[in-house]
Copies of this chain bind each other. A is one copy, B any other.
């Protein structure tokens, strides 16, 4: 019997990508689709690429609708602005699986939350990055999932094996480029096509980006000790994709082979994370639209650093694909159900 899924926030980029993937998921039936300012509009006008849903009309985001009026939903995905999920989630019963694609339940430390988001901390849910040590066990059977941020997905997958294997010093330096969909669909002047085409620019420099504490949380857990993160995000002239260049000082005795072996072992059984053959480098175009993660490692002996580069699709593995992967685990389905490692290129 099909899993019935509702999507709150179906008009945005995360909601749209989730619907694209749900349409291809063999076990899921799409239930209510809600929006706020867009309630009452045809989905065909808001998400013109989702032709099979073109005639669906957005409903308002209310507890009744998300619970399911005619038939209850088994899963409710929340693709809402940060800080709005908690209020909606607490009105949903304990038996429905709630998958929060926002930030509300990602952080364990209330102080971090308050510092970066400026509101009271709502709590912490099982973290939807199955590849992290221990994550799958926490996700199995859970009724609440906090989907990771897009940058933390790319960065944590790139660096956790190095920290788990004690290969590098606890001071990570990360520069990542993201496509513009990561900034959402709200119309802001600096996100206009005229502004972003032909342009690379940084933002949130110096530790100001909200994804920083999430990376620290993940990498410190892998290291078993505090890790500092210097994170610089940049906006790249493309709609999708994150390329994360991550590095840290190599510990004594670490060689290119040590690093390669550790990563090969870490990802040997992972269905979505691919350590590329030597000589091939990650490219965001290669994972466009797919749930795959491309990873490559290097050891710069002269500079004494291990460099790890990862490429993901920020909307797929970085948001909606990661959400579905975790949902599959929570529901006891095969983890890869409905998810693809095939990109759309060129």
Contact = CB atoms under 8 A, between A and B. Distances in A.
A285 to B, nearest CB: 4
Contacts of A188: 187
Nearest to A279: B45
Contacts of A287: 49
Interface string A109-151: 0000000000000000000000000000000000000000000
A187 B185 contact: no
Interface stretch (A96-104, A158-166, A289-297, A322-330): A289-297
A228 interface: yes
Contact of A177 (B234, B274, B296): B234
Given A187-B191, A301-B207, A49 B288 contact: yes
Interface in A60-82: none
Interface string A3-29: 000000000010010001001100000
B238 A199 contact: yes
Contacts of A48: 280, 283, 286, 294, 343, 345
A340 B245 CA distance: 33
22 contacts: A24-B340, A42-B277, A44-B280, A49-B342, A51-B274, A177-B234, A180-B192, A187-B187, A187-B189, A191-B192, A192-B346, A193-B237, A197-B237, A197-B238, A198-B284, A198-B285, A198-B288, A202-B309, A206-B300, A207-B301, A230-B300, A234-B243
Given A199-B241, A200-B283, 16 more contacts: A13-B194, A16-B346, A48-B286, A48-B294, A50-B343, A51-B274, A51-B341, A177-B236, A192-B193, A197-B238, A198-B239, A201-B282, A207-B301, A230-B247, A230-B300, A237-B237
